[in-house]
Amino acid sequence: MTAPLLTTDDLTVRFGGHVAVDAVTCAFHAGELTAIVGPNGAGKTTYFNLISGQIPASAGRVMLNGQDISAASVSARTKAGIGRAFQMTNLFPDLTVLENVRLVVQAKARRGFNLWSVVTGHTDLMDQAEEILARVRLLDERNQIVSELSHGNQRKLEVALLIALDPLIYMFDEPTAGMSVDEAPVVLDLIADLKAQTDRTVLLVEHKMDVIRTLADRIIVLHNGALAADGAPAEVMASDIVQEAYMGRGLEGVLDHV
C-alpha cells in the first residue's frame, strides 16, 4: 500500500482532567473517503480541530505527507494542504459570491502551488472562479452578497472555496446540515467527485446514515475520545465493539436516519 497522506499518532488533547481525544492513531490514504462517527461529545470536532490546528495537542503528532505538522499554525497547515471547509466566519460577508471565490483562487495562484502553473492575469482568475461556481451550481448567484445567501447556498459556497483551495486533505463537518432535500444531493455529488481525485483524501464528520452509506469507503468510530472501530462500513456497523460501545443499540442507534 502507498504511504498515507495523513496520519495521527497517539493524538491526544486534555481539557483539565477531561481527555477529549485519547491517543488516536489513524492513517488516511489517497482516494479514500473516511467518515468519522460517534455520539455527541465523542471528540469528532475536537479531532478535526487538532488536525487543522485550531487547538494544540497535549500529546501525539499529526503527519502530512511524512512531515510533522504538529507545531504548525492553522494557516501553515492550510498552505501545506489541509483544507477544512470554510465556515461563514471565514468568508467576506460583504463581498459577492464570485469575489469570495476569486480571492481564494488568487491566493492559491500567487502561492505558486501546482494547480495552475500559468496564470496569465485577472481574466483567468475570474474564469477559474466562475468554473468552480458552475460546478457547485452557484453561477446564477455570483453577484449576490454573501451575507444575503440562503443557508443552503452558503454551504455550497463553503464547498466552492474548498475546491478553489485544492487541498490534499478535504475536511467536511456535516456538510449538508440544515440543507433542504433538493440542495443536499448537489453537495454530496461534489464530495463524491472530490474523492474520485485519487491523489486526495476526504474526511467527513457525519451523523446522517444515508450520507455515510452513499459516500464512505471507511468508517472510524470515536467513543469517549478514543478510536473504537476502524474499517469498511459494513464491517464496522456489524462489529462487536460498536455493538457494545453503544450498549446494544449499534451504530445505527446513535446516528440520524435521514
Nearer Cβ to ligand ATP (109/219): 219
Backbone angles phi, psi at 23, to 5 degrees: 50, 50
- Per rule CB under 6 A, is residue 43 in the interface with ligand ATP? yes
CB 34 within 8 A of CB 17: no
The residue type found at 177 is: A
The one among 6, 32, 44, 64 contacting ligand ATP by CB under 6 A: 44
**Of the residues 6, 11, 20, 194, which one makes contact with ligand ATP according to CB under 6 A:** 20
Sign of CA dihedral 251, 173, 136, 156: positive
Q: Which amino acid type is present at position 225?
A: G
What CA–CA distance (Å, rounded) separates 198 from 81? 15
Closest approach of ligand ATP to the CB of residue 74, in Å:
15
Q: State which of positions 223-252 bind ligand ATP (CB under 6 A).
A: none
**What is the nearest approach in angstroms of ligand ATP to the Cβ of residue 68?**
23
Under the binding rule (CB under 6 A), the answer on residue 15 touching ligand ATP is yes
Tell me the residue type at 68. D
The type of residue at 201 is: T
Query: Between residues 59 and 145, which has the closer beta carbon with respect to ligand ATP?
Result: 59
Binding mask 46-85 for ligand ATP (x = CB under 6 A): x---------------------------------------
Q: Phi and psi at residue 28, in whole multiples of 5°?
A: -120, 125
Smallest gap from residue 153 Cβ to ligand ATP (A): 23
- Regarding 253 and contact with ligand ATP (CB under 6 A), the answer is no
- Angle, vertex CA 241, rays to CA 7 and CA 220, nearest 5: 30
Taking CB under 6 A as the binding criterion, the range among 14-22, 86-94, 99-107, 182-190 that sits at the site for ligand ATP is 14-22
| Cβ contact 25:6 at 8 Å | no
Angstrom distance (rounded) from CA 98 to CA 153: 13
Q: How far is the CB of 134 from ligand ATP (least distance, A)?
A: 32
How many residues are present in the chain?
258
Grid cell, residue 204, equals: 467527513
Letters for 165-194 (x = contact with ligand ATP by CB under 6 A, - = none) are: ------------------------------
Q: Which residues bind ligand ATP (CB under 6 A)?
A: 15, 18, 20, 38, 40-46
